[in-house]
Structure 1
Amino acid sequence: MMAARAVDSMATPFTREPRGRLEARVPLAGLTSWRVGGPADWLFQPADLDDLVEGLRDHADHAPQMPVTFLGLGSNVLIRDGGLEGLVVHLSGVLNERRSLDGERLLLGAGLACAQAARFGAREGLVGAEFLAGIPGTVGGALAMNAGAWGGEIWPLVESVATVDARGELHTRTPADYTIGYRSVRGPADEWFTGCVLRLAVGDPEAGTRRIRELLRERSAKQPLGLPSCGSVFRNPESDHAARLVEAAGLKGLRHGAAEISPKHANFITHDGAARAADIEWLLRHAQAEVQRRFGVQLEPEVRVLGRPAGTNEASEGTA
């Protein structure tokens, strides 16, 4: 975990007025799938890629000490109740391009929802990415964590990715530039994904669409989709399942405040709309501790825990 850093939350991130949205102290709960968390010091939703590049260049010259966090659909983050320091770049609904290239590849923007990407691929008669329909995030988020479902992962499909760095410079990279693992991606520092090209197989559009429907029915039957959650909280340990371990520890259905380890699926933490981020984080840490105590297994979160606890002025940031 990175050390806490103090910043001047009143400082502006840019000298210019962007074409997109820039606001101070914007609540982030509504921008995450858990529907909890405090405000961003600054929220920037660029109008397009050029606006993003210009904003990052301005930020690098004007306020380089201010942290930058990229946020898509907010499905893989727990933002603490004190909010996020610095500049939050919100890409959901932006950079959502989708195009078929030469009948075998898809060009996808980082802000495109994974479910939209899956459906588009099926309509184009390309198969292999149907599993993306079950990932509740954006393409950029999926690239950042090598998201997967039903045995599929996104990086085996990747031909190339487009990124932007902290100084607003654009790059095109290949999988060789990254170390890819199970729900893990390590690459050049201070770069964020803006899009990718996936190489898929030619198939039957109707069959692909049917497969997506089947996968979504299975997901609905097994997961508590009607309540706020982040999807799976923990990575599966090698040769085991996080849900089995949490349930075997007797934690299924455990509540803290308004948050609950789901009685339907023990690798989900849900709430009824009244929880605080602190309630969810307590359950996450408690499940880790109990599984470690009882089975000697250290559960690694898939979700990133970010920001300040309520009532603090310094931020802590990192993977839980």
Structure 2
Amino acid sequence: MGLFNAVLSLSGAIDTDVVEDERLARHTSYRIGGRAALFITCHSYHALRRAVEALVREQVPWVIIGKGSNLLVSDAGYNGAVVTLGREFQRSVLAEDGVTLTVGAGAMLARVVNAALSRSLSGLEFAVGIPGTIGGAVSMNAGTRDEWIGSLVEDIVTYKPGEGLRHYGHDDVFWAYRETGIPRDEIILEVTLKLHPGDKSEIRSSMERSLVRRRRTQPIGSASCGSVFRNPPDRSVGAMIEECGLKGFSIGGAEVSPLHANFIVNNGTATASDVVAVIQHVYEKVKETYGVALKPEVKFLGF
């Protein structure tokens, strides 16, 4: 592994910040995780391409993350490079038609939702309160059981390492609940959303209702990764876990939320091992009770 050579290649490179031995707990909503050998922030497309090419050339394992809102990092960390998108990937541009919004993949979803509200554009109300970046939201088709961000996507630009830029129209991509057909070996750089004009007061009211509902039913403010498991077809995984009597179940500092059973929260002292143990217990209990093998929504790094 050429970590040393990779650092030499990238240190001082334009639009690139390189940090060695970075604590990943600082970069996840779980506030859990060991250290990454390298943490690289790329502020432009050329910086990203240069960084990935250097990592591939030096045979350094690498992964790209957004804001770590659905990520659980091992206590041992990640013996490779974690890459994240910086300045150039946080911009947004509204087209002349007044409804087509092009956003960099590193932009926070919350900022885009608020930008749509300020311009009286409707369509993103369901996304209020969902953490993370636009790139992360599109890669997992974030949303509710009934509304997904994929329905608003008009165009996607990705980077395929070794090949360059690729473009996808909405109909080029398979969209489903918590799933897209965007190739996993490509990095989302930019997303174009098609919104529609609306009444600002109605948009704001809809967002406020959604926020009230989230705050009433989810442990907003607690350290978590959001929903841990995907809902099986026509079932509520939260209800299934609750019916197994697992609300409040804990191991170490990790607990099944008493507010919503599909959230596992870090009560302040949880390790990644604690969270994994709780996830495993919930999985086994639900399978034993219902015969359903739950699929994790949370992503794992370093395990």
Alignment TM-score, normalising by the size of structure 1? 0.88
Which deviations, in whole Å up to 9, do the C-alpha atoms of 1:210-240 show, x marking residues without a partner? 3222211211111111310011111111111
Select the residue among 215, 221, 229 that pairs with 1:220: 215
In 2, are the aligned partners of 1:160 and 1:197 still within 8 Å (CA)? yes
Shift of 1:93: 6.1
Question: Counterparts of 2:86 and 2:24 in 1: how far apart (Å)?
Answer: 13
Question: Which one has more relative contact order, counting CA pairs under 8 Å at least 6 apart?
Answer: 1
Q: Does 1:82 pair with 2:76?
A: yes
Q: After alignment, is 94-103 or 30-39 more displaced?
A: 94-103
Question: Counterparts of 1:189 and 1:248 in 2: how far apart (Å)?
Answer: 35
The SS at the match of 2:175 is: strand
In 2, are the aligned partners of 1:14 and 1:58 still within 8 Å (CA)? no
The SS at the match of 2:139 is: helix
Question: Counterparts of 2:106 and 2:148 in 1: how far apart (Å)?
Answer: 18
Shift of 1:249: 1.0
For residue 105 of structure 1, what is the amino acid of its counterpart?
Answer: T
For residue 163 of structure 1, what is the amino acid of its counterpart?
Answer: T
Select the residue among 33, 41, 45 that pairs with 1:45: 41
Select the residue among 103, 109, 128 that pairs with 1:108: 103
The runs of 4+ residues in structure 1 deviating greater than 3 Å are 7-11, 57-60
Q: Does 1:203 pair with 2:211?
A: no
Shift of 1:150: 6.2
The residue aligned with 1:69 is: 63
Query: 5 Å matches for 1:74-223?
Result: 74-91=68-85, 95-101=89-95, 102-149=97-144, 151-167=146-162, 169-223=164-218
Percent same amino acid among aligned pairs?
35
Greater share of residues in helix: 2
The residue aligned with 1:229 is: 224
Question: Counterparts of 1:94 and 1:231 in 2: how far apart (Å)?
Answer: 27
For residue 51 of structure 2, what is the amino acid of its counterpart?
Answer: G
In 2, are the aligned partners of 1:71 and 1:92 still within 8 Å (CA)? no
In 2, are the aligned partners of 1:57 and 1:168 still within 8 Å (CA)? no
For residue 93 of structure 2, what is the amino acid of its counterpart?
Answer: R
In 2, are the aligned partners of 1:80 and 1:278 still within 8 Å (CA)? yes
What is the root-mean-square deviation in Å for CA atoms of aligned residues? Answer: 1.9
Which 5+ residue runs of structure 2 have no aligned equivalent? none
The residue aligned with 1:239 is: 234
The SS at the match of 2:6 is: coil
Question: Counterparts of 2:2 and 2:191 in 1: how far apart (Å)?
Answer: 35
Q: How many residues align?
A: 300
Which deviations, in whole Å up to 9, do the C-alpha atoms of 1:214-271 show, x marking residues without a partner? 2112111111113100111111111110101111111110010011001111010012
Select the residue among 261, 286, 289 that pairs with 1:291: 286
Which 5+ residue runs of structure 1 have no aligned equivalent? 1-6, 309-320
In 2, are the aligned partners of 1:292 and 1:299 still within 8 Å (CA)? yes
Select the residue among 248, 255, 275 that pairs with 1:253: 248
Alignment TM-score, normalising by the size of structure 2? 0.93
